[in-house]
């Protein structure tokens, strides 16, 4: 342990070592840290990745000897969903805030190519939330609920052959972001011989594909031996159960089959107890590695994306303030350049629009002039028609006056006709008298000739009367 501490904190040549002549009391710092940690409590976040029905919930219940509420999942989800549940677990005087993140619907889709992407996005989102809390001016990291994933229990189906393509793709995407512990779910479904061969195949494939899994630390002498042995058991072959069976007047977690009973707590049956010991023994190491390795990698990449660098162009160290000012100046210049481009583009568009509007205005003006000329021509034609119509109206009024005058004169002319008729009658009488005298004198005119003559004279008179009436009506 001392050697490891010396490696972690190299001695400075300018620092002298002094011996104390009496007790001072700072040797109580570890006790103070323990009391503070116990008072504050601990948090631990577990991500369970595996196909639906492989025994994720049963294993979690078996690991913590509890029954966590986890509703059953369906196989018909269109995409992978992550279900997060947080519990407070207390053992003795130690309070642990335990968060279980379960992947619902993993591997159930027809197209499994992107099944791992929601998991990667969730892990990055937790890193981003912690980073944003760090970058705040007023931070509250002491009371901040850390949701970063500390360990990923990756469940492998007990096929006995090799890893699936989906398993390789998912672990390859996650191994640089989280501590992966591969485990074989429902390990009681294959024989021990097949199980050992399957473990060897899995480890060989992981190495050949460059996937790094979590190795329990061996630099601490107190746990070096047991961790070395445990690393040889990877991946763990686990069996979980939510039921208890009475064996020897004792209720134990087990799975009962017609051919026998598989005890969850029996290390000769499965590696569930080994997994529990390793998680509890190395829980702080998992937390520390998550913060010091995976989170730092994410933080460095994000800050580099923002333009921050520790070393300047001349390999000189650059402070955060200098990097911020340089980034701010670069951003300001880029903003000015874009603003100038936008202005030029705006001016160009205004000119183009003005030209279009001017052309449209010329077309409208030309059309207006044509319409005005047509209007003048139509106005002249209407004026000529108006004059002709006025002349016709005047002529019609004159004719109407003449007709009214003639109509008013018609009753006056009727007595004249009667007087003429009376004069004619007198004339006829006179002529008759003369004829009588002639007949009397001459004695040669007979009665028949006289009547014919009288009828002819009457017809002639009627014609004259009819002609007079026609003139009066006109």
Residue 280 and residue 296 in contact, taking contact as beta carbons nearer than 8 Å: no
Tell me the per-residue pLDDT of 404-429, one tens digit each, with 9 for 90 and over.
888 888 654 444 444 455 555 555 55
Distance, CA of 29 to CA of 36 (rounded, Å): 10
Distance CA(399)–CA(406), nearest Å, equals: 11
> Tokens representing 272?
């569930």
Poorest-pLDDT segment among 165-169, 207-211, 428-432 = 428-432
Give the pLDDT confidence of 146-156 residue by residue, as tens digits. Answer: 899 999 999 99
**pLDDT tens digits, one per residue of 175-191:** 999 999 999 988 888 88
Whether the predicted pLDDT of 207 surpasses 80: yes
Pull the structure tokens for residue 83: 């279900």
Per-residue confidence (pLDDT) for residue 78, from 0 to 100: 80
Higher pLDDT, 416 or 340: 340
What pLDDT band is residue 373 in, cutting at 50, 70 and 90? Answer: very high
**Per mean pLDDT, which range of 69-83, 85-99, 316-330 is the poorest?**
316-330
Res. 227 pLDDT band, cuts 50 70 90: confident
pLDDT at 474: 43
Instruction: Give residue for tokens 């008298």.
Output: 433
As a whole-number percent, the residues of the chain with pLDDT over 70 amount to 81
Q: Which pLDDT value is given to residue 290?
A: 94
Q: Given the DSSP bridges, would you call strands 94-104 and 42-49 parallel, antiparallel or unpaired?
A: parallel
C-alpha to C-alpha distance for 289 and 214, rounded to whole angstroms: 10
Rounded CA separation 336/317 (Å): 29
Percentage of the chain modeled with pLDDT above 90: 32
SS (H, E, C) the chain: CHHHHHHHCCCCCCCCCCCCCCCCCHHHHHHHHHHHHHHHCEEEEEEEECCCCCCHHHHHHHHCCCCCCCCCCCCCCCCCEEEEEEEEEEECCEEEEEEEEEEECCCCCCCCCCCCHHHHHHHHHHHHHHHHHHCCCCCCCCCCCCCCCCEEEEEECCCCCCCCHHHHHHHHHHCCCCCEEEEECCHHHCCHHHHHHHHHHHHHHHHHCCCCCCCCCCCCHHHHHHHHHHHCCCCEECCCCCCEEECCCCEEEEEEECCEEEECCCCCCCCHHHHHHHHHHCHHHHHHHHHHHHHHHHHHHHHHHHCCCCECCCCCECCHHHHHHHHHHHHHHHHHHHHHHHHHHHHHHHHHHHHHHHHHHHHHHHHHHHHHHHHHHHHHHHHHHHHHHHHHHHHHHHHHHHHHHHHHHCCCHHHHHHHHHHHHHHHHHHHHHHHHHHHHHHCCCCHHHHHHHHHHHHHHHHHHHHHHHHHHHC
Q: Is residue 143 a contact partner of residue 43, using CB atoms and an 8 Å limit?
A: no
Cα–Cα distance list, 450 to 113, 424, 440, 446 (Å) = 144, 18, 13, 7
Checking if the pLDDT of 447 tops 70, the result is no
Q: Please give the pLDDT value at position 454.
A: 63
pLDDT level of residue 202 (50, 70, 90 thresholds) = very high
Q: Label residue 434 by pLDDT band (50, 70, 90).
A: low
Tokens of 417: 């006709």
Residue 36: its pLDDT value, please? 84
What per-residue confidence (pLDDT) applies to 1?
38
pLDDT classification of 466: cutoffs 50, 70, 90: low
For the record, the structure tokens of 199 come out as 């473990």
Spatial neighbors of 74 by CB under 8 A, at least 6 apart, are 52, 105
**Average pLDDT score over residue span 386-390:** 91
Cβ contacts of residue 233 below 8 Å, gap of 6+? 271, 274
pTM confidence score:
0.64
Whether 163 shows a pLDDT value over 80: the answer reads: yes
Let me know: does 49 contact 167? Beta carbons within 8 Å.
Answer: no
CB 233 within 8 A of CB 183: no
Cα–Cα distance between 222 and 230 in angstroms, integer? 14
- Per the listing, tokens 């004619």 go with 424
Report yes or no: 290 and 149 within 8 Å, Cβ to Cβ.
yes
Rounded CA Rg of the chain: 61
Q: How confident is the model at residue 314 (pLDDT cuts 50, 70, 90)?
A: low
Mean pLDDT of the chain: 81
Complete edge-to-edge strand list for the sheet that includes strand 260-263: 244-246, 251-257, 260-263
Q: Is the pLDDT of residue 251 over 90?
A: no
Q: Which range has the top average pLDDT, 151-160, 248-257, 461-470? A: 151-160
How far is residue 155's CA from residue 180's CA, in Å, rounded to a whole number? Answer: 10
CB atoms within 10 A of CB 177: 22
Residue 8 confidence (pLDDT) above 50: no
Largest CA distance in the chain: 211
């Amino acid at each position: 342990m001392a050697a490891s501490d010396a490696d972690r904190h190299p001695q400075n040549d300018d620092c002298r070592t002094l011996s104390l002549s009496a007790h001072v009391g700072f040797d109580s710092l570890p006790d103070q840290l323990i009391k503070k940690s116990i008072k504050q409590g601990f948090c631990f976040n577990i991500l369970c990745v595996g196909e639906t029905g492989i025994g994720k919930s049963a294993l979690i219940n078996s690991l913590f000897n509890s029954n966590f509420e986890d509703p059953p999942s369906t196989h018909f989800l269109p995409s992978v969903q992550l279900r997060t549940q947080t519990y407070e677990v207390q053992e003795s005087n130690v309070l642990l805030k335990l968060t279980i993140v379960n992947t619902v619907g993993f591997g159930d889709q027809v197209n499994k190519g992107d099944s791992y992407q929601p998991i990667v996005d969730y892990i990055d989102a937790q890193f981003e939330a912690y980073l944003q809390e760090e970058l705040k001016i007023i931070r509250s990291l002491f009371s901040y609920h850390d949701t970063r994933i500390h360990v990923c229990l990756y469940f492998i189906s007990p096929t006995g052959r090799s890893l699936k393509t989906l398993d390789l793709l998912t672990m390859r995407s996650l191994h640089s972001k989280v501590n992966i512990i591969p485990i074989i779910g429902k390990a009681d479904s294959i024989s021990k011989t097949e199980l050992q061969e399957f473990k060897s195949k899995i480890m060989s494939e992981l190495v050949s594909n460059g996937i790094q899994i979590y190795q329990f630390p061996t630099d601490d002498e107190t746990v070096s031996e047991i961790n070395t042995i445990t690393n040889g058991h990877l991946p763990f072959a686990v069996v979980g159960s939510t039921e208890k069976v009475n064996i020897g007047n004792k209720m134990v977690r087990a799975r009962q089959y017609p051919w026998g009973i598989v005890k969850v707590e029996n290390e000769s049956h499965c590696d569930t107890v080994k997994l529990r010991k390793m998680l509890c023994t190395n829980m702080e190491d998992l937390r520390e590695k998550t913060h010091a390795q995976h989170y730092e990698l994410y933080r460095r990449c994000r800050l580099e994306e923002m333009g921050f660098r520790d070393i300047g162009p001349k390999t000189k160290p650059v402070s955060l303030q200098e990097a911020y000012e340089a980034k701010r100046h670069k951003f300001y210049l880029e903003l000015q350049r874009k603003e100038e481009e936008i202005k030029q583009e705006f001016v160009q568009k205004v000119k183009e629009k003005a030209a279009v509007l001017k052309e449209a205005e010329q077309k409208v003006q030309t059309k207006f002039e044509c319409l005005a000329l047509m209007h003048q021509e139509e106005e002249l034609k209407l004026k000529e028609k108006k004059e002709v119509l006025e002349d016709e109206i005047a002529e019609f009024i004159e004719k109407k006056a003449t007709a009214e005058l003639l109509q008013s004169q018609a009753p006056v002319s009727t007595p004249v006709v009667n007087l003429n008729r009376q004069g004619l009658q007198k004339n006829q009488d006179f002529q008759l008298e003369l004829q009588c005298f002639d007949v009397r004198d001459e004695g040669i005119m007979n009665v028949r000739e006289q009547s014919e003559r009288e009828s002819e004279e009457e017809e002639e008179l009627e014609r004259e009367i009819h002609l007079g009436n026609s003139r009066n009506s006109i």
